[in-house]
Structure 1
Amino acid sequence: MAEPTQGRPIDILLVEPNPGDVRLTKEAFKDGRIRNDLHVVNNGQDALDYLEGQGEYEGRPRPDIVLLEINLPDMDGMDILTAIKESEKLETIPVIILSSSEAGEEIVRGYQLQANAYMTKPPDPDEFIQKIRTLANYWIQVVELPADCGL
């Protein structure tokens, strides 16, 4: 069984095609002094390969949290969410949707598919960084994350 998340950096998988949002997310984690290993993929297929440890991602660490943009160039992020929550190996990983969409139906659909949280990305970079810091403080410093139970 893998070690618990306490006392080690949190492994975060960021699924984000926008280089600007990747940069802001990295900045938020760095400036917030939150111990983490941030792994970034920019499309849905790479996200699925990473999560399953396939191809170039063989031997990668199992993420403790997935930050998922739903608007991806090659597939619907909701399909990735569904794949995670339907997988016995992955279903306990918290998935936080990050999206530019404030559409009520998207938010409802995310929660129906068992997203653990839905965050709308603000257009202002400073506000975006603050939201990511708040999200990180909650999910990394407040809640207990499930350890990889050897699945």
Structure 2
Amino acid sequence: MAEAGRLILLVEDDPDHELLTIRALKKSNIANDIRVARDGEEAIEMLFGANAIKPQVILLDLKLPKVEGLEVLRRIRESDLTRMLPVVVLTSSDEERDLVRSYQLGVNSYIRKPVNFTDFAEATRQLGMYWLVLNEAPPLS
């Protein structure tokens, strides 16, 4: 796995949500490198492939093409290499079963994406501040 750093893995298939998330993080002075996987298959490749990355936090959408987000989360939690990586579900899903299943699979946090940009930007700012500044993550070695 690549050297652990202050890397964020954003798993998001909606280009507008991708841009809003990145913009909100940068506007909040979160200077971490952000890698984007645009479907679940790409996320799995980025985490387990030949050039695997070790992000400080994974922001995971649930409704993804190819491999859904819950399956990505399941694979993250079943591997010794990635089990302890912080995973935040950032989704527009308001289905209780997605919330419950995410926690059953070991998600660290579940956040519903606010509909309007101002609220979305503020939620992303708070998320970035907590997971990248305040939270003390376990060692990833």
Q: For residues 65 and 72 of structure 2, what CA distance do their matches in structure 1 show?
A: 13
| 2:16 corresponds to which of 10, 16, 20 | 20
Residues 1:38 and 2:34 are matched in the alignment: yes
2:89 and 2:60 map into 1 onto residues whose CA distance is: 5
Q: Distance in 2 between matches of 1:48 and 1:4?
A: 17
The total of aligned residue pairs comes to 140
Question: What residue number does 2:137 align with?
Answer: 145
Deviation, 1:3, is 7.9
Secondary structure, counterpart of 2:18 in structure 1: helix
C-alpha displacement of 1:127? 0.9
Question: Which consecutive residues of structure 1, in runs of 5 or more, have no partner in the other structure?
Answer: none
TM-superposed deviation, 1:126: 1.4
What is the CA RMSD across the aligned residues, in angstroms?
A: 1.6
Percentage of identical aligned residues: 36
**SS at the partner of 2:55?**
coil
CA shift at 1:64, angstroms? 1.2
TM norm structure 1? 0.87
Report the alpha carbon displacement of residue 148 of structure 1 after superposing the two structures with TM: 2.3
1:134 pairs with 2:115? no
Confirm or deny that 1:61 pairs with 2:64.
no
